[in-house]
Amino acid sequence: MYASENRIATSVLVIGTGGAGLRAAVELAERGVDVLAVGKRPKADAHTSLAAGGINAALATMDPEDTWQQHAADTLKESYLLANPETVRIVTEGAARGIEDLVRYGMPFARERDGRISQRFFGAHTFRRTSYAGDYTGLEIQRTLINRAAQLDVRVLDTVYITRILVHDNVVFGAYGFDLTDGSRYVIHADAVILAAGGHTRIWRRTSSRRDENTGDSFRLAVLAGCRIRDPELVQFHPSGLIAPENAAGTLVSEAARGEGGVLRNRLGERFMSRYDPERMELSTRDRVALAAYTEIKEGRGTPDGGVWLDVSHLPRETIMTRLPRVYQTLLELQMLDITKEPIEVAPTAHYSMGGVWVRPEDHGTDVDGLYAIGEAASGLHGANRLGGNSLIELLVFGRIVGRAAAEYSAGLGAQRRSAEALAAAREEVDELLSADGPENVRSLQRALRDIMTEHAGVVRDEGGLRKGLAELAAVEARISGMGVHPDIAGFQDLAHAFDLKSSALAARATIETAIERRETRGCHNRSDYPELDPALQVNLVWSGPGSVERESIPPIPAEIAALMREVSTVGKLVE
């Protein structure tokens, strides 16, 4: 054992300190179970804090006829029939309880004058069911959960990077990692592990994820532990990410900008949505608007820097300042641009991983005993297009359910067997990277990988491009072994970037290989060589390693829910 290794034991380890991880940790602490949460970035700066629009639950505070069954029908419809009906039922039926929990923890929801929680429309919802707190709902949820975790004395390690989940005979027994500041190692023994380390959208060049988050960590940790990945090719591209400045490329311009009356124009000044969805125009669904913008750019009608114009300057200044304050402030800070006078240059940006680790619907257990996955790390709810506002409620519903499941699993464990070999392998992996002194620069390899994914596996894909991307990815994978890793006085970020790169490479391969297999156009997945939806591909694609993609059938939709599924107008609503 190394002198610099910290050894910790806990009943349940939570990897990730965003909304999903903290909600699970709170559930465990409320049940009196010893829990430790670890994150590679400060919990106050988790990705959850970026979510602006709102959180869904059929509370019926505004529209009394709304029901969880209608919420389920809308979710399944928007998923292009790839969501798991049981997962959808659990989330939509448990959504009101999720909101109640937040209120109990002190969440400051917007309310009507009579005290009811306000709810607004998001596109493709039949009724008003999106609760919110200004245009910073995710930030308030994160703050609320941080406060509740502090009240319960939940242990949180903010600067620990987990490199391996420790498994013996397909049973989890903990995790291994290092401190980002001083490089000291952590051996964490745990009865159960909850993986809540986010998605993989950072592997594209333009993304709403910040630097060094959502690099596919969950995918790599899960696959090395013995799990599978479901539907990694299903990635939602948000229509309006900023192009400049380079260090903020992909930063979202809220879709409220279009919801409030913003218009999209190409380089020629044409309001191009009339070509793609003449009825709904800018209020069309997220996948269609992203595809339209991508097509305009690809066909040469884009702006000088390869985007389109989003213009709100025709709106009254008061509307912009009261309804879009965050957008106004962001553009002023990043570009010195006054959106009350000038249009914003935007382009589609990778936004949300709808696929993720394969889990059971009822408890989000994985293929490995004692290992669970939740939040954007998991799969099953969103299918081929995510209904706006559903991601935040998913965190709360499954955070509670998985916290309870992990508590029961830990309590029922007769004994725990550990593996010296698994621990040695995890330790050796870190040692090898720390001694790596090759000529390859980690950051340049990350950039090369993001370029491959953007060029060959972006908004629109085809067989030739995907196979070329796979060949180029193999070349990058080969170069990874020649990396140089150089921690310095500032800390061990370079080691973290090396692990990020390994995760991104695995996530990229899973994404491209399943994208090749899905020879159809469905929701967010656009194949120019297969422009039609193929009923035979109404299946989930499950990836278990290089070259291994299997089709998984989806359970039938209950008749009572199927009867409620219909096209939903987005007229007069905020889009997703």
- Measured over the CA atoms of residue 410, residue 412, residue 415 and residue 418, the dihedral's sign is negative
The pLDDT, as a whole number, for residue 123 is 64
The pLDDT, as a whole number, for residue 568 is 54
Task: Based on the residue annotation, tell me whether 258 is a catalytic residue of this protein.
Answer: yes
Question: How much of the chain is helix, strand and coil, in % rounded to 5?
Answer: 40, 20, 40
Task: Based on the residue annotation, tell me whether 360 is a catalytic residue of this protein.
Answer: no
Instruction: Give CA–CA dist 142/140, Å, rounded.
Output: 5
Interior angle at CA 247, CA 395 and CA 321, nearest 5: 70
Distances in Å between the alpha carbon of 435 and those of 64, 309, 477? Answer: 63, 48, 19
The pLDDT, as a whole number, for residue 423 is 97
Task: Give backbone dihedrals phi and psi of 270, rounded to 5 degrees, phi first.
Answer: -80, 140
Instruction: Give CA–CA dist 263/278, Å, rounded.
Output: 13
> Which of 125, 200, 238, 286 is the catalytic position?
238
Listed as ranges, residues in the chain with pLDDT below 70 are 1-3, 123, 568-576
Q: How many helices (H) and strands (E) does the chain have?
A: 15, 19
The pLDDT, as a whole number, for residue 480 is 96
The pLDDT, as a whole number, for residue 569 is 52
Interior angle at CA 397, CA 119 and CA 35, nearest 5: 130
Cβ atoms of 466 and 528 closer than 8 Å: no
Q: What is the pTM of this model?
A: 0.94
Q: H/E element holding 5? A: strand 5-15
Cβ atoms of 462 and 520 closer than 8 Å: no
| 460 exposure class (CB count in 10 Å sphere: 0-12, 13-18, 19+) | buried
> Which of 120, 164, 220, 258 is the catalytic position?
258
42's tokens: 């400060």
Residue that has been written with the tokens 């919110």 in this structure: 132
Instruction: Give CA–CA dist 166/160, Å, rounded.
Output: 16
Residue 158 CA from chain centroid, whole number: 20
DSSP 129-198: -EE-STT-HHHHHHHHHHHHHHHTT-EEETTEEEEEEEEETTEEEEEEEEETTT--EEEEEEEEEEE---
Cβ atoms of 239 and 281 closer than 8 Å: no
- Measured over the CA atoms of residue 354, residue 356, residue 358 and residue 361, the dihedral's sign is negative
Cβ atoms of 500 and 446 closer than 8 Å: yes
